[in-house]
């Protein structure tokens, strides 16, 4: 990161997720001056009111509003091109209109890309120009920085790393494709695979809860560490698929660093050690070096900080690389 202009400039960063929306007043060092969160909006006016709450709480010079949002976002116009699910009411809308901030500039981008911007400006990708990031949670999201620019593609959909086929005979995915990374490594995939083992009465230490729900991914990692054969088998298989996918991304993008973020990445060495081992040997010939695979640094409010970073980049206050 290079800071071009000094001063007290701030931007409002907003992250609109499936369950929570967050906002913060963010300085050019990525520092959060004040932060806010509420359940995800159920109407455009709820989002507007939330953003104005943050906007009105500061007297510092606000350079703009940055919004990171699920779905496919046209950054040039701030239009939400595609957003299935609970936030569907934003589809087709210009986020700049929804927010209604008058003269203030509004930037918008997909939330995984905003998280990567945060890493590029203040985190694990600082000073780098070629970076790939995966977010591992209920699904698998991602974004890539290619020669210093966030990869968007012809229609803005580039970077759907969770929807690359790893097993051509694999299960049907939410996206309509088969055997995607997300069907093999995601909290949904890991939990449903553990459930399938329980259903077959395989030897397992965990069981369904009183409502019939399978154990969550965190519990499966924990019990694997304690020696549960079923959890170990499920995670070994999931990690094998994730590692295979990462090898493909490394060969495609040749990044300086590869970042893993999201809830599952918090599993730490249990996730990173086997993956690093599997990958190093398989990328030796083409890449000739070991690409660092690291945990995201800007956690928690990373999407918010990155959304504010979009404003700083547009205003020329910061630059990537």
Provide the minimum distance between the beta carbon of 84 and Zn ion in the complex, in angstroms, as a whole number.
13
Q: Does 180 bind Zn ion (CB under 5 A)?
A: yes
Beta-carbon-side half-sphere exposure of residue 77 (alpha carbons within 13 Å): 11
Q: Does 172 bind Zn ion (CB under 5 A)?
A: no
Q: Does 166 bind Zn ion (CB under 5 A)?
A: no
- Kindly indicate which of the ranges 118-126, 155-163, 187-195, 308-316 contains the residues binding Zn ion, using the contact rule CB under 5 A: 155-163
Nearer to Zn ion, 35 or 177 (CB): 177
Distance CA(87)–CA(263), nearest Å, equals 21
Distance CA(68)–CA(118), nearest Å, equals 11
Q: Does 241 bind Zn ion (CB under 5 A)?
A: no
Q: Does 157 bind Zn ion (CB under 5 A)?
A: no
- Kindly indicate which of the ranges 65-73, 179-187, 265-273, 296-304 contains the residues binding Zn ion, using the contact rule CB under 5 A: 179-187
Q: Does 163 bind Zn ion (CB under 5 A)?
A: yes
Q: Does 245 bind Zn ion (CB under 5 A)?
A: no
Q: What is the DSSP string of 53-93?
A: HHHTT--S-EEEEEEEESSEEETTTTEEEE--STTGGGTT-
Contact 89, 285 (CB under 8 A): no
Provide the minimum distance between the beta carbon of 137 and Zn ion in the complex, in angstroms, as a whole number.
15
Q: Does 177 bind Zn ion (CB under 5 A)?
A: yes
Question: How big is the chain by its Cα radius of gyration, in Å?
Answer: 20
- Kindly indicate which of the ranges 87-95, 163-171, 188-196, 215-223 contains the residues binding Zn ion, using the contact rule CB under 5 A: 163-171
Contact 66, 14 (CB under 8 A): yes
**Residues binding Zn ion (CB under 5 A):** 163, 173, 175, 177, 180
């Amino acid at each position: 990161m290079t800071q071009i202009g000094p001063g007290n400039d701030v931007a409002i960063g907003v992250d609109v997720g499936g369950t929570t929306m967050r906002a913060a007043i963010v300085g050019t060092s990525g520092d959060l001056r004040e932060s806010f969160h509420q359940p995800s909006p159920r109407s455009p006016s709820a989002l507007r009111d939330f953003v104005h709450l943050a906007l009105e709480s500061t007297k510092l010079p606000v350079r703009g509003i940055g919004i990171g949002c699920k779905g496919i976002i046209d950054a040039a116009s701030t239009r939400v091109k595609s957003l299935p699910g609970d936030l569907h009411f934003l589809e087709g809308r210009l986020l700049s209109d929804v927010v209604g901030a008058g003269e203030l500039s509004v930037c918008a981008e997909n939330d995984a890309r905003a998280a990567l911007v945060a890493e590029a400006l203040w985190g694990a990708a600082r000073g780098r120009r070629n970076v790939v990031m995966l977010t591992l949670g209920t699904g698998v999201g991602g974004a890539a920085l290619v020669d210093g620019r966030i990869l968007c593609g012809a229609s803005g959909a580039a970077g759907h790393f969770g929807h690359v086929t790893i097993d051509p005979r694999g299960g049907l995915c939410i996206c309509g494709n088969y055997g995607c990374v997300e069907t093999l490594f995601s909290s949904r995939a890991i939990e449903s695979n553990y459930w399938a083992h329980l259903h077959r009465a395989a030897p397992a230490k965990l069981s369904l809860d009183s409502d019939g729900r399978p154990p969550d991914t965190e519990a499966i990692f924990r019990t694997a560490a304690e020696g549960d054969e079923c959890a170990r088998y499920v995670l070994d298989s999931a990690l094998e698929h994730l590692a295979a996918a990462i090898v493909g991304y490394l060969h495609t993008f040749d990044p300086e660093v590869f970042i893993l973020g999201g809830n599952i990445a918090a599993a730490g060495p249990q996730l990173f050690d086997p993956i690093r081992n599997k990958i190093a040997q398989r990328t030796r010939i083409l890449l000739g070096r070991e690409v660092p695979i690291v945990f995201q640094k800007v956690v928690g409010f990373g999407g918010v900080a990155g959304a504010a970073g979009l404003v700083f980049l547009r205003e020329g206050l910061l630059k990537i690389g």
